[in-house]
Amino acid sequence: MRIRVTDVLDLLAAGLTPDQVVEELPDLELEDVRAVLSGIDLRSHGIDANQAREIRESLASFADDWDAPEMDVYDLYDANRRAMALPTDHTR
């Protein structure tokens, strides 16, 4: 499913936390929300400096866990999950 950056920003501007955005849009991961926030002019989307600070602070608690080496297994999670769902041909 394709999710527009503006959809994520609208939810954040409406007061949802990044966790709530991920709950609302389950195809997203927290890292996706962080990526949206990294290069966007937030003011043009109705997010002021205080809201941006609050969003950054709420994401900071996940940074250590997210960047931990044991989380690398999730980097290819979606591709691996799709591969597991494909039927295999055992006749060869």
Condensed to tens digits (0 to 9), the pLDDT of residues 46-70 reads 888 888 888 778 777 776 776 778 7
The DSSP H or E segment spanning 14 is none
End-to-end CA distance of the chain: 34
Q: What is the mean pLDDT of residues 1-5?
A: 77
Burial of 18 (0-12, 13-18, 19+ CB in 10 A): buried
pLDDT of 78 > 80? The answer is: no
- Structural domain contains residue 26: yes
Which structural domain range is residue 19 located in? Answer: 5-85
- Structural domain contains residue 12: yes
Number of domain units in the chain: 1
pLDDT of 42 > 70? The answer is: yes
- Structural domain contains residue 56: yes
pLDDT of 23 > 90? The answer is: yes
Q: Higher pLDDT residue, 67 or 87?
A: 67
